[in-house]
Structure formats: structure tokens, C-alpha cells
């Protein structure tokens, strides 16, 4: 089974329906099934607005959040780093960075960031997980 992480970034609250629609569009474009989504991830600063949690509920998985410092550490692996995002939140990307942090050092971007109406979505996958034979 693949382990897929959907990263979400957005510039305002109240966009859950649009974020879900974008995540579904990106999931389909990447050839990912809904059941493969391990978590929906974002920056900790967005934890309280409910958008990422709503997308996670839609996919029946956990929402996870990372600090700006954790996301900034992924800058070398980003397909689309942004100085504007860095000025706004302290890291060069949210959707791509969060997906990559969640996927870990062996992860890769399956779908770079897609933007629609102030929402970004990116998808990363874990390339190697040791099977513990559970």
C-alpha cells in the first residue's frame, strides 16, 4: 500500500469546500485513491481555522501540522519555493513542504503545488517503508 500525504496551504479561513474540491482534483490527477491518503498536512499556524481538518475528515484520515521551521527545512526539495510565502509565514512553501515533511526523507513530490482561489495543494508519497510483517 502506498502512503500518500496531501499538503494544503491557504491564505484565508472559510475555504473548506474549495480546499476539498482542489484536493480531490489533485488526488485524481496524481492517480491516488482516497484510501491511500495517510494524512492531510499543513502549517501549524492554520490549525485552528478548520480547513485542513475538514479536508482530512473528507478523506477519513488524520490532519497533521508542522512548524514553519520544519517546513523551511524542506526548501531545497521544493518544486516551487516562494519568497512571498516566506515573507507571510516564515517558510518558502506550505503545501509542498508539509507533504514532504510528512513523507520523510525518502519521500518525493508526486504532484507539485497546484493553486486555485488562494488555496494550494501538493501531494507527496513515501518511497520506502520497511514492512514489519504486521
In a domain, 2, yes or no: no
| pTM of the model as a whole | 0.92
In a domain, 13, yes or no: yes
> What pLDDT was estimated at residue 14?
61
pLDDT in tens, 32-91: 999 999 999 999 999 998 999 999 999 999 999 999 999 999 999 999 999 999 999 999
> Could you give the number of structural domains in the chain?
1
User: Across-strand partners of 40?
Assistant: 6, 63
In a domain, 24, yes or no: yes
In a domain, 84, yes or no: no
In a domain, 104, yes or no: yes
Torsion of the alpha carbons at 118, 25, 55 and 81, rounded to the nearest 10 = -50
**CATH classification at residue 51:** 3.30.420.180
In a domain, 39, yes or no: yes
Could you list the residue range(s) of the whole structural domain that residue 56 is in? 8-66+95-126
In a domain, 59, yes or no: yes
Amino acid at each position: 500500500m502506498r502512503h500518500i500525504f496531501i499538503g494544503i496551504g491557504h491564505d484565508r479561513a472559510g475555504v473548506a469546500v474549495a480546499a476539498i474540491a482542489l484536493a480531490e482534483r489533485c488526488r485524481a490527477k496524481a492517480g491516488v485513491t482516497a484510501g491511500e491518503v495517510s494524512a492531510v498536512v499543513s502549517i501549524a499556524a492554520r490549525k485552528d481555522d478548520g480547513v485542513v481538518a475538514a479536508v482530512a475528515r473528507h478523506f477519513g484520515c488524520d490532519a497533521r501540522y508542522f512548524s514553519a521551521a520544519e517546513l523551511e527545512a524542506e526548501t531545497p526539495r521544493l518544486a516551487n519555493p516562494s519568497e512571498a510565502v516566506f515573507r507571510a509565514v516564515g517558510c518558502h512553501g506550505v503545501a509542498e513542504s508539509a507533504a514532504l515533511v510528512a513523507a520523510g526523507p525518502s519521500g518525493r513530490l508526486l504532484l507539485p503545488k497546484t493553486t486555485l482561489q488562494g488555496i494550494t495543494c501538493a501531494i507527496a508519497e513515501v518511497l520506502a517503508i520497511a514492512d514489519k510483517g504486521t
